[in-house]
Structure 1
Amino acid sequence: MSRWPVTSLHGKLHVKHGYPFKSEYFTGAGKYIVLTPGNFYEEGGFKRQVGKEKFYSGIVPKEYLHSQGDLVVAMTEQSAGLLGSCAFVPDNDTYLHNQRLGLITVDPEQLDIAFVYYLFQTKSVREQIRLTSTGSKVKHTSPERIYSVNAALPKVEEQKKIAGILAALDAKIGCNKRINAELEAMAKLLYDYWFVQFDFPDADGKPYKSSGGSMVYNATLKRQIPEGWKDGTLDDLGRIVGGSTPSKENPDYFTANGTPWITPYDLSGNQGTKFITRGAQDVSDEGIRDASLKKVPAGTVLLSSRAPIGYMAIARAELTTNQGFKSFIPTNEYSTAFIYYTVKGSLKTITRYASGSTFKEVSAAVLKTVKIALPDSNIVDQFSVSIASMFNRQDLLELENQHLTQLRNWLLPMLMNGQVTVV
């Protein structure tokens, strides 16, 4: 039971639907970016959808332009668990929101806007929004239904303290993500510099191609590659293995504490990270035998091969996958890091070769036909050593974010109902 008084949100906040956009003003490069529920993470937060954003070039009333720090809420459940999720707008005068979102404003004497953001992440509020929503296929809510939500509300000063604690954890999580993004950009740049532009260090430590290193034409690849390199396919990088699914009819095949079992859905929530330890479910030894599952070792590069194609991660420990993966187990002279970026750089070709009537899928046979240039193993070793510290740092920061997220999620309900107080 909460130590705070429970009351409705009516009269304490206001929800404003988005602007009624005209379709003829949606262009490839308009002045404004239109926010949709697709810009939301399920756990709360905001993401850019580079390449998929809707731009609007029409005239928009000033009151519909967002300022940095505006709070928007998902009024439509575009994906499971999204309804009622909130996010802060990151920039001024750049974003608009469509009618699937609502702009939240508050009476500052009764509510703190940051507190509202976290309030809408609580199970109680989200359940109330969902239970009062309408729609048989896609759930919708309305401002009036949000106003009817009941919540435990301390005084505004206490709200600010609570939000401050949770925001500090989120700020650290965000900082770690930005550091990892910079490290990823550096590692990818180094890979491209060495293996795409062929400016790896020569015997004198100079950039190979730029310093006049010998290049030879490869008839298979139909391009020049450094002398001593050879042509090959993705199959040369390591052993490609698939996965499978134990029978769902036997609950004993799945367990909360067995061997991690990864699905493409697990990677959909893992975007922005590089490593993965486990997914939503583990499988038991009986389940592994039933489905003839293969355990892959730490360092294996996972590639989702259907529904959708192209999600990638590196196994942090031994695990298994369902049939939606083709995984690369490093077995030759090529390291996990080299395999990861080489496969990532081949995704456009991999996707082009996909086939299937119901949904596109990439087979192991197809992967074995994707041609690549194979460098000397010594160069790969140098590359792997050069970025090892970056990979280790990324791994540590991802693990730290997992712990911080667990701490925040543990504190959230207790702070919100007064079980834990801020002094």
Structure 2
Amino acid sequence: MSNKLTKISAVIEEISMGPFGSDIKVENFVSQGVPVLNGSNLTSFKLVEDTFKYVTPEKAKTFKKAIARRGDIVITHRGTLGQISYIPKDSLFDEYVISQSQFRVSLNKNLVDPSFFVYYFHTSEGQKRLLANKCHVGVPALAQATTNFRLIEIPLPSLTTQQKIASVLSALDAKIELNNRINAELEAMAKTLYDYWFVQFDFPNEEGKPYKSSGGTMVWNEELKREIPEGWEVEPLNNNIDLILDHRGKTPKKLGGDWIYEGDGITAISAKIVKGGKLVNLEQANKVSFEMYEKWMPEKLKEGDILMTSEAPLGEFYFLLGKTDYCMSQRLFAIRANRSKVVPSYLYYELSKGNGYSQIIGSQSGSTVFGIRQDELRKIKILKPDIKLQNKFEDSVIPFLQRIRNNDSQNQQLAELRDWLLPMLMNGQVKVQ
């Protein structure tokens, strides 16, 4: 890549800030309309479209300069700095309202490929230039955000070269996205099976027919305040587990060491890493040495253990399958089922999706940070089907979970490859033909 630098002002067609916070009030939000972006939508190279709040099209029209469209770049200038994403050609919506903490950029697409532009700003060099005018007083912000952004100089090869580089990186991201879609379908299938068997009680009876729909005997259960299949039990979680691991309050320094920042180590999982049934942002997690791991975790995590966040936020879950050599950090429990009484995968769904979940959320307490104490967690009532039926459920659901874990592992490898290639493609160490 040429070392020649181009000032961003030379390739910008339009740049504008988001609306004032007072312009969009809570009462302006509606169930559908024009989506309003926030920081959660800018966590990747491309716009993340998982969740939105909306305003009416009429309200959106009052924010002419705060409307972002396909091909535009959206950047955070206040709060979580360093976020920059582009709106792809296949985005879910034609228009988006940017937030008060963002600004949008429209580029001259005859000179710049938007995806290349964003990939560049995800390199360490690009981030350094983007954050050069960071102000540390109060809420983190970029001083004179749009003015200073125009003055940034970046290496800009020919448009054809930009497109080739972006194509290589986009192909890796596309595979990651495909794996994520497959995982979402697998998770939905597993959840549907759990609901069908253990919420609707239409598990296969001895004749292979749906139990409840075929007239299976139901009896009232006072603890759950509902009818359950005859012969099923309701018991405290404490009666059905071997242990709960809880390492809150532990830190490396309290154990005579520190986190490690270079080389191999054991990943420390905290509550912020357990989200939506996944372990997220593992590459950003703290690590400890193997010696510290042995000291910190005399009782190691095992396959089938259920990780649960105890607070901030409460009630996120992850089922351990395959890799288990993690160090447990703050605000986290690990629940180990007594396999003679309850099957781990069934218990995972019962706690994270079923009867246990509403009780866990209902048992939260605290003045500033809401969470659940271990003694309260042990009192949570779980529904216990026949152990043979639990085992049959596990036989069906474990293949789904194993494929999800395999896809997650592949995604981690693909992300590492992308992040390794990214700076080398940008500075010309690796060339694309």
Q: TM-score, normalised by structure 2?
A: 0.87
Q: Distance in 2 between matches of 1:16 and 1:277?
A: 34
Q: CA RMSD in A?
A: 2.7
After alignment, is 285-294 or 326-335 more displaced? 285-294
Which amino acid letter does the alignment assign opposite residue 169 of structure 1?
L
Question: Which whole-Å deviations, capped at 9, do the CAs of 1:41-83 have from their partners, x for residues lacking one?
Answer: 1x43433464x735456433366544444332222233xxx43
Q: 1:308 aligns with which of 313, 336, 339?
A: 313
Q: Distance in 2 between matches of 1:390 and 1:122?
A: 35
Aligned residues: 415
Q: 1:206 aligns with which of 194, 204, 209?
A: 209
Q: Distance in 2 between matches of 1:367 and 1:25?
A: 37
| Displacement after TM superposition at 1:126 (Å) | 1.2
Q: 2:187 aligns with which of 176, 184, 188?
A: 184
Q: Secondary structure at the match of 2:318?
A: strand
| Match of residue 195 from structure 1 | 198
Q: Distance in 1 between matches of 2:213 and 2:431?
A: 62
Whether the aligned pair in 1 keeps the contact of 2:316 and 2:352 (CA below 8 Å) is no
Are residues 396 and 366 of structure 1, via their aligned partners in 2, closer, same or farther at CA, if it must alter by over 3 Å? same
| Displacement after TM superposition at 1:161 (Å) | 0.5
1:331 aligned to 2:331?
Answer: no
| Displacement after TM superposition at 1:325 (Å) | 1.1
| Displacement after TM superposition at 1:123 (Å) | 1.2
Q: Distance in 2 between matches of 1:97 and 1:285?
A: 45
| Match of residue 77 from structure 1 | 79
Are residues 251 and 76 of structure 1, via their aligned partners in 2, closer, same or farther at CA, if it must alter by over 3 Å? farther
Whether the aligned pair in 1 keeps the contact of 2:2 and 2:156 (CA below 8 Å) is no
| Displacement after TM superposition at 1:307 (Å) | 1.9
| Displacement after TM superposition at 1:198 (Å) | 0.6
1:320 aligned to 2:327?
Answer: yes
Whether the aligned pair in 2 keeps the contact of 1:16 and 1:143 (CA below 8 Å) is yes
Q: Secondary structure at the match of 2:368?
A: coil
1:345-364 map, 5 Å: 345=353, 346-364=356-374
Q: Distance in 1 between matches of 2:137 and 2:424?
A: 34
Question: Which whole-Å deviations, capped at 9, do the CAs of 1:193-246 have from their partners, x for residues lacking one?
Answer: 111111111111111111111111123322211111001133344332212423
Question: Which whole-Å deviations, capped at 9, do the CAs of 1:115-168 have from their partners, x for residues lacking one?
Answer: 112112111121122121235122223112112222211111100100011111
Q: Secondary structure at the match of 1:59?
A: helix
Q: Distance in 1 between matches of 2:131 and 2:397?
A: 46
Q: Distance in 2 between matches of 1:348 and 1:56?
A: 33
List runs of 5+ in structure 1 lacking aligned partners.
none
1:11 aligned to 2:10?
Answer: yes
| Match of residue 122 from structure 2 | 121
After alignment, is 141-150 or 63-72 more displaced? 63-72
Which amino acid letter does the alignment assign opposite residue 287 of structure 1?
M
After alignment, is 109-118 or 317-326 more displaced? 317-326
Q: Secondary structure at the match of 2:253?
A: coil
Q: Distance in 2 between matches of 1:129 and 1:157?
A: 24
| Match of residue 389 from structure 1 | 399
Q: Distance in 2 between matches of 1:278 and 1:107?
A: 34
Are residues 278 and 87 of structure 1, via their aligned partners in 2, closer, same or farther at CA, if it must alter by over 3 Å? closer
Are residues 278 and 130 of structure 1, via their aligned partners in 2, closer, same or farther at CA, if it must alter by over 3 Å? closer
Instruction: Give percent identity, aligned residues only.
Output: 30
Q: 2:246 aligns with which of 226, 242, 245?
A: 242
Whether the aligned pair in 1 keeps the contact of 2:71 and 2:114 (CA below 8 Å) is no
Are residues 272 and 312 of structure 1, via their aligned partners in 2, closer, same or farther at CA, if it must alter by over 3 Å? closer
Q: 1:365 aligns with which of 368, 375, 378?
A: 375
| Match of residue 215 from structure 1 | 218
Whether the aligned pair in 2 keeps the contact of 1:84 and 1:120 (CA below 8 Å) is no
Which amino acid letter does the alignment assign opposite residue 247 of structure 2?
G
Are residues 237 and 397 of structure 1, via their aligned partners in 2, closer, same or farther at CA, if it must alter by over 3 Å? farther
Whether the aligned pair in 2 keeps the contact of 1:83 and 1:139 (CA below 8 Å) is no
Q: Distance in 2 between matches of 1:272 and 1:225?
A: 27
| Match of residue 384 from structure 2 | 374
Are residues 224 and 73 of structure 1, via their aligned partners in 2, closer, same or farther at CA, if it must alter by over 3 Å? same
Question: Which whole-Å deviations, capped at 9, do the CAs of 1:282-325 have from their partners, x for residues lacking one?
Answer: 33465357657532112211001012212222233233312411
Are residues 330 and 133 of structure 1, via their aligned partners in 2, closer, same or farther at CA, if it must alter by over 3 Å? same
Whether the aligned pair in 2 keeps the contact of 1:115 and 1:159 (CA below 8 Å) is yes
After alignment, is 13-22 or 151-160 more displaced? 13-22
Which amino acid letter does the alignment assign opposite residue 185 of structure 1?
A
Whether the aligned pair in 2 keeps the contact of 1:275 and 1:395 (CA below 8 Å) is no
Whether the aligned pair in 1 keeps the contact of 2:268 and 2:326 (CA below 8 Å) is yes
1:100-115 map, 5 Å: 100-115=101-116
| Displacement after TM superposition at 1:86 (Å) | 1.6
After alignment, is 123-132 or 94-103 more displaced? 94-103
Whether the aligned pair in 2 keeps the contact of 1:234 and 1:343 (CA below 8 Å) is no
Which amino acid letter does the alignment assign opposite residue 317 of structure 1?
T
Q: Distance in 2 between matches of 1:312 and 1:10?
A: 46
Q: Distance in 1 between matches of 2:396 and 2:102?
A: 45
Q: Distance in 2 between matches of 1:312 and 1:191?
A: 16
Q: Distance in 1 between matches of 2:28 and 2:178?
A: 34
| Match of residue 349 from structure 2 | 341
Whether the aligned pair in 1 keeps the contact of 2:273 and 2:282 (CA below 8 Å) is no
Whether the aligned pair in 1 keeps the contact of 2:247 and 2:330 (CA below 8 Å) is yes
